[in-house]
C-alpha cells in the first residue's frame, strides 16, 4: 500500500529527489536517496505536469553533461569516442571490408597474412554515398 505523505514531506522528498537526480543521473538511484519508491515518483509525475517538467529539465541537463564528457574525450583524441559520436549524431556506418584471397595449391601462409594486413591498413575509399 502506498504511503500518504504530507504536503511538506512530499515537497522535501521531491527536492531531495531532484538534487539526487542531478548527482546520480539515474531515476532509481535518486528515488532511493530520496526515500521514495520509484512507482510513487511515477504517480506523482503523471499527476503533476510541473514536476514532470522539472524532472525533464534535470534529465536534459544530464544528457548535456554526458555529451560534454563525450566531446572532451573526442578532444583528447579518443577514436572510440569519435566513432560513437559519428554513428549517433552523423548517421555514420562502418562498411564491411572484403578481402579476396586466391588459393593456389601451395599457400604461403606468411605471405597471405601479410597481404591481409596490407589490405586492412589501406585507407577506405569512399564511393561518395
Q: Where are the domains of the chain?
A: 7-89
Q: What number is the average pLDDT over the span 84-101?
A: 77
pTM listed for this prediction: 0.62
Position of cell 554526458?
66
Label residue 112 exposed, middle or buried (CB < 10 Å: 0-12, 13-18, 19+): middle
Whole-number Å distance between alpha carbons of 116 and 129? 26
Please tell me which of 47-56, 74-83, 112-121 the model is most confident about, judged by mean pLDDT.
47-56
Band of the pLDDT at 105, cuts 50, 70, 90?
low
Does residue 35 have a pLDDT over 90?
A: yes
Residue 1 in this model has a pLDDT that exceeds 60 = no
Q: Which secondary-structure segment (H or E) carries 120?
A: helix 109-121
The C-alpha atoms of residue 66 and residue 33 are separated, in whole angstroms, by 21
pLDDT higher than threshold 70 for residue 22:
yes
Amino acid at each position: 500500500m502506498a504511503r500518504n505523505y504530507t504536503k511538506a514531506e512530499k515537497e522535501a522528498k521531491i527536492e531531495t529527489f531532484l538534487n539526487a537526480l542531478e548527482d546520480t543521473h539515474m531515476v532509481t538511484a535518486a528515488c532511493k536517496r530520496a526515500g521514495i519508491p520509484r512507482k510513487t515518483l511515477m504517480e506523482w509525475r503523471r499527476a503533476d505536469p510541473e514536476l514532470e517538467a522539472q524532472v525533464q529539465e534535470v534529465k536534459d541537463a544530464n544528457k548535456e553533461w554526458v555529451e560534454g564528457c563525450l566531446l572532451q574525450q573526442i578532444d583528447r583524441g579518443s577514436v572510440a569516442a569519435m566513432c560513437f559520436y559519428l554513428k549517433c549524431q552523423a548517421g555514420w556506418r562502418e562498411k564491411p571490408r572484403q578481402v579476396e584471397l586466391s588459393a593456389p595449391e601451395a599457400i604461403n601462409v606468411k605471405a597471405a597474412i601479410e597481404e591481409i594486413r596490407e589490405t586492412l591498413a589501406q585507407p577506405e575509399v569512399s564511393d561518395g554515398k
